[in-house]
Amino acid sequence: MALEPRPSGEALSSRPGRLPGVILVGAWLLVASVHLVLRPERRLLVWPLGYLLLEALACGSLAYRAWTTPGQGRVAWWLLAASAFLEVPNLLFTLLDLQGGHPDWMTRLPSYLGLVTGFLVLAGILSFPRGRERGGRFRRRILDALIFAVSLFFLLWVMGIQASLRTAAEGVGLRVLVAYLNVALLGGGLVFMTSYHPDRTRGPLGWLAASGLAWLAAISCWTLAGLPSILATTPWIILAGAIPLFQGLAAWSPRPVEEALVAVHPEPRLGGLLPYVPVVVAILVLAGLLAWSPRQATRETYAIFLVMVVLLLVRQVLAIEDLEAARRTLEDRVLHRTRALEQAQATLLRTERMNALALMGAGLAHDLNNLLGVIKNSAELAVMEPEGGDPAVSRNLTRIATAADQAARLTGRLMGFARRESEALSLMDVVGEIREMESMLRLLLPRSVSLQLEFPVDHGVLVRSSKLRLEQMLVNLVANAGGAMPEGGRLTIYAGADGPGTGDTLIEVADSGIGMTPEVLERIFDPFFTTKPSGKGVGLGLPSLKAMVEEDGGRLEVSSEPGRGSRFRIFLPRVPQGISN
């Protein structure tokens, strides 16, 4: 699920407790009880006063919510409060209509006021914050709301036909039409606001939906009762009193309407089907009407049903577009997953190749170690029994023995790597170790390349590593630098603390060779990538070097420019003085 920022809304801590809701429910129960106890002739006067009380409480509640609500929601609550307030003059004109002796225009005035009230309720519901809409969803929500409203209006219209709408009292027909239209618009507005955000029904919109259901129930009872012109005497009129009750409870709901917009859900399974429930019922009703009472199917019935069908066709076109977009998205995801699998397979093949190479290298290292043992032993025997006592020969034989010993240690490390053996680390002085390796490092370079060592201090730069690792790091870098300077040059090795505040030890190997292009620089740590000719390298030196540096808790940086040489910088955590192994 995708998250959106919380809109600026009302503070929950400013809401009163449950007392207002208790007052509203108690008032409705009192009015309903009195109405049911009284005789029909007394209800004609008492019920309008009770309904006026409920409307006053609802209007005051909605106005208070509007007054205390900041942001965009304030407009919505004021519109709802205005719709409740407009019911007061509507009720007064209805009472005057019952008394008689009024102009003809006053007969239709309650219907006009009721129509304005319905539009105010619809405008209030649609004024609540809706959050950001994804592409095309706004049009789909409008169509779903219209489908629901037209289908609901169709069902009420068919019910009105069956209740002899044409033969109702004068002026009742307009009242019925306005009532049907208001209920349909209210249902469509609620579907528009909640079908794609079902969590919003848990707050004020849920109470407004309950008021819409009460409205629908009252109108259905009115229709089934034969559309009488006097309603105050009927027992089911208490359902109409639940309309302001639920509106007032919506005003006192502690949950802001904006709260459901924090978590934006994907298109819901059940909520997305809600607009089509009355469609199915409407189709069944029309089929039954044509089968058993075809004369009752008027032109108006067919017209409303035709509008519903047109809206369904337009919605089907958008649904086909959604399916096509989903198909393209699925194809893109399949292509992306396929490429990811291909990359994973290539990585697996490289890993298997490296494992096979490690095993092969371990076997070669074992055989090489045996040969190095022979060379070392022969050199040691030659040193002990020199012929002629030539000091130069003795020094060269000593170097041979030393190099063979170091090579044996390297092959031992290679075999240990193949067996996944851990290497014991200890504190070591980087400067001192590099000084001891100077003669060996010079042997790796052509005579045309000069080696220069730079140490700011003579000793005391400690790191936690091993002598073998340090040798392998420097041998790798120095050998590569020598190959990058075929016509000669200068190689500088720097070792020391990397500034007073970093806590790192810096080992820098810089050459004046041919350098590297940016394309080569991006791939130098890829396994098996090499710029050397076939048979001269396998492309595992720098990847293994980087792995060793990171194993010691350090990092490796490289900078290079074509024709200006390369610079490798190894940063290892420096161990403070006074810490022992």
How many other β-carbons are positioned within 10 Å of the β-carbon of residue 375?
16
Lowest model confidence (mean pLDDT) among 217-231, 365-379, 519-533, 554-568: 365-379
Q: What is the reported pLDDT for 567?
A: 92
DSSP strand pairing (489-497 vs 449-454) = parallel
Greater pLDDT, 482 or 200: 482
Q: What are phi and psi of 452, to 5 degrees?
A: -130, 125
Please, which residues have CB within 8 angstroms of residue 528's CB and are 6 or more apart in sequence?
Answer: 350, 353, 538, 539, 540
The pLDDT confidence band at residue 201, using thresholds 50, 70 and 90, is confident
CA distances (Å), 270 to each of 71, 196, 274, 276, 277, in order?
31, 10, 6, 10, 10
Q: For residues 32-36, give the mean pLDDT.
A: 89
Q: Which residue, 165, 175, 189, is CA-closest to 300? A: 165
Over residues 458-486, the mean pLDDT reads 82
DSSP tag of 165 = G
Range among 49-53, 218-222, 410-414 with highest mean pLDDT value: 49-53
Q: Say which residues have a Cβ less than 8 Å from residue 553's Cβ, sequence separation at least 6.
A: 572, 573
Name the residue type at position 435: R
What is the three-class DSSP state of 73?
Answer: helix
pLDDT above 90 (res 484): no
What does the pLDDT read at residue 13?
39
Contact status, residue 128 vs residue 205, Cβ threshold 8 Å = yes
Give the tokens for residue 423: 């290497």
pLDDT of residue 121: 86
Q: Mind giving me the DSSP string for 180-196?
A: HHHHHHHHHHHHHHHSS
Among 185, 195, 189, which Cα is nearest to 219's?
185
In the chain, the percentage of residues whose pLDDT exceeds 90 is 4
Q: What pLDDT was estimated at residue 476?
A: 83
Question: What local confidence, expressed as pLDDT, does residue 510 receive?
Answer: 93
- Whether the CB-CB separation of 249 and 63 falls below 8 Å is answered with no
Instruction: Give the percent of the chain with pLDDT over 70.
Output: 65
The length of the chain, given as a count of residues? 581
What is the per-residue pLDDT for 99? 60
Do 574 and 499 meet the contact criterion of CB atoms below 8 Å apart? no
CA–CA gap between residue 43 and residue 26 (Å, rounded): 19
Question: How many angstroms separate the CA atoms of 125 and 128, rounded?
Answer: 6
pLDDT band at 511 (very low <50, low <70, confident <90, very high): very high
Is the full-model pTM beyond 0.75? no
- pLDDT level of residue 1 (50, 70, 90 thresholds): very low
pLDDT at position 268 over 90: no
User: Quick one: pLDDT at residue 9?
Assistant: 44
